[in-house]
Structure 1
Amino acid sequence: MNGVGRASAFDGLDLQRAPADGPVAFGGSLDAGELLAAYGHGLFPLPAADVYASAYNEARYGEVDGVALLSGVSDPYALAWWSPDPRPVLRPDGVRLPSRLARRLRNGAQWWTTADRAFGEVLAACVAGRQPVWLTEELASALVELNARGAAHSVEVWEGDELVGGVFGVAVGPVLSLDSMFHRRSDAARVAVADLGARFGAAGGRLLDAQWDGPHVRSLGAAPMGRSRYLAELVSTVRAGPLPTGRLPVARLV
Structure 2
Amino acid sequence: MVVSRCPGWEALDVLEAAPDAPVAFCADLSPACLLAAYRTGVYPFPASDEYVRALNEAMFADQVQEGRIRLVGEEPDDPYAVSWWSPDPRPVVPVSAAHVSRSLARRLRSRLDWTTSLDRRFEQVVRECGAGRTPLWLTEELIASLVRLHDLGHAHSVEVWEEGDLVGGVFGLQVGSVFSMDSMFFRRPGASKVAVADLAARFAQAGGVLLDAQRDSPHVRSLGGVLVPREQYVRHLRRSARDSPPMPTDPLPARRLVRPTGSR
TM-score (structure 1 length as normaliser): 0.94
The worse-fitting range, judged by mean Cα deviation, of 141-150 and 228-237 is 228-237
Offset at 1:86? 0.6
| Structure 1 partner of 2:69 | 67
1:244 corresponds to 2:248: yes
| Structure 1 partner of 2:194 | 191
Distance in 2, matches of 1:87 and 1:117, equals 29
SS of match in other structure, 2:256: helix
Offset at 1:108? 4.0
- Matching residue's letter, 2:204: G
Distance in 2, matches of 1:136 and 1:231, equals 27
Query: Kindly tell me: are residues 237 and 213 of structure 1, through their superposed partners in 2, closer, same or farther at Cα, counting changes over 3 Å?
Result: closer
Which structure 1 segments of 5+ residues have no match?
Answer: 1-7
- Matching residue's letter, 1:24: V
Distance in 2, matches of 1:124 and 1:108, equals 26
Distance in 1, matches of 2:218 and 2:164, equals 32
Q: Which has the higher helix share?
A: 2
SS of match in other structure, 1:244: coil
Of 124, 129, 132, 1:129 maps to 132
SS of match in other structure, 1:182: strand
* 8 Å Cα contact 2:25-2:83 kept in structure 1: yes
* 8 Å Cα contact 1:27-1:73 kept in structure 2: no
Distance in 2, matches of 1:214 and 1:237, equals 26
SS of match in other structure, 1:55: helix
SS of match in other structure, 1:155: strand
| Structure 2 partner of 1:12 | 11
1:97 corresponds to 2:100: yes
Offset at 1:77? 0.3
Distance in 1, matches of 2:109 and 2:184, equals 23
* 8 Å Cα contact 2:27-2:77 kept in structure 1: no
Distance in 1, matches of 2:224 and 2:62, equals 36
SS of match in other structure, 1:100: helix
Instruction: State how 1:89-168 maps to structure 2 within 5 Å.
Output: 89-168=92-171
* 8 Å Cα contact 2:178-2:240 kept in structure 1: no
Distance in 2, matches of 1:17 and 1:236, equals 19
* 8 Å Cα contact 2:27-2:78 kept in structure 1: no
Percent identity of equivalent pairs: 51
1:44 corresponds to 2:78: no
Which structure 2 segments of 5+ residues have no match?
Answer: 1-6, 259-264
Offset at 1:95? 1.6
The worse-fitting range, judged by mean Cα deviation, of 12-21 and 38-47 is 12-21
Structure showing greater Rg: 2
Distance in 2, matches of 1:125 and 1:73, equals 32
TM-score (structure 2 length as normaliser): 0.90
Offset at 1:104? 2.0
Distance in 2, matches of 1:24 and 1:105, equals 41
SS of match in other structure, 2:138: coil
Instruction: State how 1:47-58 maps to structure 2 within 5 Å.
Output: 47-58=46-57
